[in-house]
Amino acid sequence: MTKALIVYGTRYGAAASTSEEIAKVFRQEGLEVRVVNAKEEKVNNITDCDLVVVGSGILINKWTSEPEKFLKKFQKELTRKKVALFVCCGSASYATMAQPEVAAKAKRKYLEEKAVQYNLQPVALGFFGGVYNYNKEPWWAKKAMEAERPKIEAAYKETQPGVYDTRDWNAIRSWAKELAQKAK
Q: Identify the CATH number of the domain in which residue 11 sits.
A: 3.40.50.360
Query: Are residues 63 and 90 both part of a single domain?
Result: yes
Q: Is pLDDT at 98 greater than 80 in this prediction?
A: no
Domain, as residue range, for 120? 3-130+166-183
**d(C-alpha 76, C-alpha 83), whole Å:** 12
Q: Is the pTM of this model over 0.85?
A: yes
| Mean of pLDDT values over 21-45 | 98
Helix pair 169-183, 14-28: axis angle to 10 deg:
50
Query: Are residues 160 and 170 both part of a single domain?
Result: no
| Mean of pLDDT values over 23-36 | 98
